[in-house]
Amino acid sequence: MSESVELIPGNTLITATPQEGRELAIKMARLIIKVTQPDAEVRGRLRGIYAEDAAMLIAVGQTVATEFAVIAAANNYWR
């Protein structure tokens, strides 16, 4: 892994809206997979696997929820 890979788009956890915070959570989760498996072709093949697997889809949701918890706190929940 090259540490110079962008891991957080914009290098901030602050977003204008909850929707944008959710999009950031999805991107952050994907970028961790990208640094762990840098080969785009392999990632594409694996995406085809987890997108068709109920248990893995649920696990993706769990990870995004964990990422989002941090982003939501950073934004004081957009209250």
The residue ranges that bind its own copies (CB under 8 A) are 1, 3, 6-8, 11-14, 17-19, 22-23, 26, 28-29, 32-33, 35-37, 42, 46-47, 49-70, 72-74, 77-79
Contacts for 31 with CB less than 8 Å, ≥ 6 apart: 5, 6, 7, 8
CB of 62: closest distance to its own copies in angstroms? 5
Degrees, nearest 5: CA angle 69-71-74: 110
CB of 2 to its own copies, least distance (A): 10
Number of neighbouring beta carbons within 10 Å of residue 68: 19
- Closest distance to its own copies from the beta carbon of 37 (Å): 5
